[in-house]
Amino acid sequence: MRSLRIAACQLNLQVGDLEGNSEKIIAAYRKAEAESADIAVFTELAVCGYPPEDLLLKSAFVEEVQKTLMMISSEVNSCVAVIGLVSGEEAAADPVRRTSNSAAVCANGEIYGVYNKRALPDYGVFDEERYFSPGEGIPPIFAIHGVNVGVTICEDIWLPDGVVGELAANGAQIILNLNASPYEQGKMLTRKDVLQQRVKESEVPIVYVNQVGGQDELIFDGGSMAIEAGGNCIARAPQFEEIVMIFDIEPAQKNTSESVIEVPLESKEYHPTKDELVKTLSSPLEPFPEIWEALCLATRDYLRKSNFTDVVVGLSGGIDSAIVAAIASDALGPEHVHTVALPSRFSSTHSIEDAASLAENLGCDHKVIPIEQAHTAFLETLAESFLNLPEDTTEENLQSRIRGTLLMALSNKFSWLVLTTGNKSELAVGYSTLYGDTAGAFAVIKDLWKTQIYDLALWKNSEAGKEIIPISIIEKPPSAELRPDQRDEDSLPPYEVLDELLREIVEEDKVVSQLIQEGYEPEMVRHISRLVDVAEYKRRQSPIGPKISSKAFGRDRRIPIVNAYQSDSQ
């Protein structure tokens, strides 16, 4: 029994772009074919992109996906292609569970069989039970060049004593796993651990192929890999890059099964040994470069896939807007990033200078548009209505809303997408102005705590070997500069304390009584928990942003806006 040459096709596909996706799939297939691959493996729902969400409720969309697969399969020759798609002939007849998340095995211009995903995740960002019926019956095994090949899809591989074990017991000698596994910090190592567990249980090698790219809030980081029967990782693709990774892998020495679908193929006269291959065994990125690359990919793809080329960022002279502008510059090129300082009567001279220095360091186009005239006009317009009332956050928030209006005006005029600059700490406690600094299209650092942002800025300067982000921005006390001598810590605990507490509340779902038992100061816990609760309505109206943590605001965390639960009494 010989080894199989596998092409792991780690592609950046777009939801709904059936024509573009099919072109990419066919181009990758041609590359695999040219490299004498036996099997080209594509990712979960590769034909339509992942996640298609309620596009799946459109019967015409599902039919177009299946027609597209037929077209792709007609281009497939003796190199077998395993391709993810939406399938189900009875789609229109069942309005509740109309489709299956499937993988088609194609060769010789035909489709030889289809595997339907069994494990449908419905936690976190996943909602697959809303759309798909789980696969049933004995999972198919395909005989390819004398090797019994089993196919699984994403969540199937995460479950012990599941379909992997069933395939192995039925005679599978290698298992292909198609994925659309979203990124979060540290997940590469978790995936490897899971794969090695399944290999240990089944004694069968596993090829894991993951997609790459940004899709709304989700980031797909690739990192496709192959684990041999002994548990060693013999091939691993880089993160955040498109690649067709080609490698040879030895099938398990198992008794063959008679219950297989034969894929008739001509024997190849020449099959180069694995020593002739260029080995790909990329190491996972370190934490800070991994986060940076993830956010750059998310930002670049959000623009590219939405048909925008340029962005505009309001620079306050603070750390948050500085990080957003730096990420955008790396993602898009500085020539596509336009920064704007919008000083008010409370803006410090050093903040205006710091914003200009940052833009110069990045090489971005930079403007200064003072808002004093507009601010005065608003105050005068409201003077009669506010007569004899003291100034408060109302007047402060006017400044932020003026800035939001001006940034949106620039966006409308020049087709520049507005990137917002709020971080996870601020979003958690509502330290933002609705229709002000929340106005925009994409919230790049929405899932980064404030303390992470400082660490990321220091790393960026160190990695560049120079000050990209001026040290004066990093060292200055954080302030919204909406009133004289304002500091964030006037209203909030120090971020080192606040972020630790917020992680417990937001990511660990702990309530007041639990946090007090853990030793947190009771009044601080009650105050911060209350701020998190009442800010939910703001968060629902804020722009989407890329998920990089185990639990991000957005589709990953679903708290009712109107709810009367009081965690302090429990």
CA 422 – CA 448 distance, rounded (Å): 9
What is the predicted pLDDT for the residue at 310?
97
Active site residue 44: yes
Gyration radius of the chain's alpha carbons: 27
Residue 158 gets which letter from DSSP? Answer: G
Average pLDDT over residues 287-316: 97
Q: Is the pLDDT of residue 256 over 80?
A: no
The 10s digit of each residue's pLDDT in 93-131 is 455 556 999 999 999 999 999 999 999 999 889 999 899
Is the pTM above the cut of 0.85?
yes
The 10s digit of each residue's pLDDT in 337-384 is 999 999 888 766 778 889 999 999 999 999 999 999 999 999 999 999
Lowest-confidence segment of 305-309, 363-367, 417-421, 553-557 by average pLDDT: 553-557
The 10s digit of each residue's pLDDT in 20-57 is 999 999 999 999 999 999 999 999 999 999 999 999 99
Q: Is the pLDDT of residue 481 over 90?
A: no
Q: pLDDT: is 1 or 229 the higher one? A: 229
Average pLDDT over residues 81-93: 76
| Catalytic member of 154, 254, 290, 538 | 154
**Residue 282 binned pLDDT confidence (cut-offs 50, 70, 90):** confident
Which of helix, strand or coil describes residue 25?
helix
**CA-closest candidate to residue 240, choices 286, 185, 183:** 183
**Residue 9 binned pLDDT confidence (cut-offs 50, 70, 90):** very high
**Residue 476 binned pLDDT confidence (cut-offs 50, 70, 90):** confident
**Superfamily, domain 4-284:** Carbon-nitrogen hydrolase (3.60.110.10)
What is the predicted pLDDT for the residue at 264?
84
| Catalytic member of 24, 44, 228, 290 | 44
Average pLDDT over residues 260-265: 86
Q: pLDDT: is 89 or 109 the higher one? A: 109
Q: Is the pLDDT of residue 90 over 60?
A: no
What is the predicted pLDDT for the residue at 259?
80
**CA-closest candidate to residue 421, choices 342, 528, 345, 497:** 342
Lowest-confidence segment of 125-129, 263-267, 464-468 by average pLDDT: 263-267
What is the predicted pLDDT for the residue at 94?
52
Active site residue 19: no
**Residue 145 binned pLDDT confidence (cut-offs 50, 70, 90):** very high
Lowest-confidence segment of 98-107, 216-225, 321-330 by average pLDDT: 98-107
What is the predicted pLDDT for the residue at 490?
66
What is the predicted pLDDT for the residue at 93?
47
Token digits of residue 42: 């594509």
Query: Other C-beta atoms within 10 Å of 161: how many?
Result: 8
Evaluate whether 203 touches 168 at the Cβ level (below 8 Å): yes
HSE toward the beta carbon, residue 442, CA cutoff 13 A: 34
Evaluate whether 184 touches 223 at the Cβ level (below 8 Å): no
Q: Is the pLDDT of residue 205 over 50?
A: yes
Q: Is the pLDDT of residue 483 over 60?
A: no
| Catalytic member of 24, 117, 450, 460 | 117
What is the predicted pLDDT for the residue at 263?
87
Q: Is the pLDDT of residue 551 over 90?
A: yes
Would you identify the CATH topology of the domain 288-488? Rossmann fold (3.40.50)
**Residue 280 binned pLDDT confidence (cut-offs 50, 70, 90):** confident
What are the structural domain ranges in the chain?
4-284, 288-488
What is the predicted pLDDT for the residue at 487?
66
Percent of the chain with pLDDT over 70: 92
CA 46 – CA 549 distance, rounded (Å): 25
Lowest-confidence segment of 61-75, 269-283, 414-428, 519-533 by average pLDDT: 269-283
Mean pLDDT of the chain: 91
What is the predicted pLDDT for the residue at 156?
93
Active site residue 79: no
Q: Which residues contact 459 (CB under 8 A, 6 or more apart)?
A: 288, 289, 292
What is the predicted pLDDT for the residue at 451?
96
Which of helix, strand or coil describes residue 486?
coil
What is the predicted pLDDT for the residue at 570?
43
